[in-house]
Amino acid sequence: MLFHIDRLPAEATRLLRLFLAGSSHTLSNLVMDLDYAAQEGKPTDMEMVLRLLRAYSVQLADLPLLMDEQPLSLYRRPLDLAAMLRAVEGSMRARFERVPCALRILSDPAWIDGDETRLYRVIWLCVENANLYTTYIRDDGEVQLHLEVGACVSVLIDDNGPGVPALYLAQLGTPSLRLYDEIPGSGWSLFYARCVLEAHGGALAFEESPLGGLRVRITLPHAVASTA
């Protein structure tokens, strides 16, 4: 199907604009992290760059399927969520020099059966959101990541950013929802995160954080082998 650029529906233009702004922000942040590492004389971690790009490319390819409510084909294998959380935190270290990030892993390793590329992207998106919103709103921003294991494996991402009014908490994770227009984002990240987690038999939930901002709660079932 072809589209006449001058006759796109207004809603299509709005969504495209959001996508473009969000994608451009994601990539320019990545370039900024690389520039920062170069300026500091640190080696460029190309494996990390490739991992992020691959995961982002998978996200873009997945979204049309999810828009059509089609299932994702997951490539599951045993994954240590503790290692993944450390990798995400490490990949954003440049940004966490402005907004300190405390990482607390209460169970190491924490095994799940999951699609590594997609789950990496989901955790990265949630942590980036926390960092982004906190950075935009305040100079003394703070992010905390917790991993704990109980009946399921849980990752809690807390920030002291603006938070989300209780009225909207239940709506987070629906497609194209934007709460703060001045902060870059496509409005699709949390929708994607929710779909990927649900496809894993997990869930994405939101609540008020003890830090004053938003708490994102990611839950995933244990790996079958670890519960057997």
Partner 1 sequence: MSHSLDANHETLDVLRSFLTENAHILGNLVMEVEQCLQESRPNAKEQAVRVLHAYSLQLTDLSLFFEGEVLEIYPRPVDLVIVVRDVVRMLAARCEEAPCRVSMPPSPIWIRGDSERLFRVFLILAEMVCAHAAYGEHEMFIALERGEGLRITLSNTGPAISEERIALLGSPGHRLHQDLPHEGWALLYAQQVVAAHHGTIQYTQSPAGGLHVQVSFS
CB of 101 to partner 1, least distance (A): 24
Nearest to partner 1 of 62, 158 (CB atom) = 62
CB burial readout 127-155, b (16+ within 10 A) else e: bbbbbbbbbebbeebbbbbbbebeeebbb
Nearest to partner 1 of 108, 198 (CB atom) = 198
CB of 36 to partner 1, least distance (A): 12
The rounded distance, in Å, linking the Cα atoms of 78 and 223 is: 7
State the number of CA atoms in the 13 A half-sphere of 193 facing the CB: 27
Chain residues that interact with partner 1, rule: CB under 8 A: 1-5, 8-9, 11-13, 15-17, 19-21, 23-24, 27-28, 30-31, 34-35, 44, 46, 49-50, 53-54, 56-58, 60-61, 63-64, 66-67, 69, 71, 174-176, 191, 195, 198-199
Neighbours of 20 (CB within 10 A): 11
The rounded distance, in Å, linking the Cα atoms of 180 and 63 is: 22
The rounded distance, in Å, linking the Cα atoms of 142 and 213 is: 10
CB of 61 to partner 1, least distance (A): 4
The rounded distance, in Å, linking the Cα atoms of 160 and 163 is: 7
Nearest to partner 1 of 53, 102 (CB atom) = 53
β 143-149/153-159 pair status:
antiparallel
Nearest to 177 by CA among 167, 193, 190, 161: 190
Nearest to partner 1 of 20, 106 (CB atom) = 20
The rounded distance, in Å, linking the Cα atoms of 199 and 12 is: 27
Nearest to partner 1 of 81, 204 (CB atom) = 204
CB of 62 to partner 1, least distance (A): 8
End-to-end CA distance of the chain: give it in Å, rounded: 50
Q: How many residues does the chain have?
A: 228
Nearest to partner 1 of 167, 228 (CB atom) = 167
209 phi/psi in degrees, rounded to 5: -90, 145
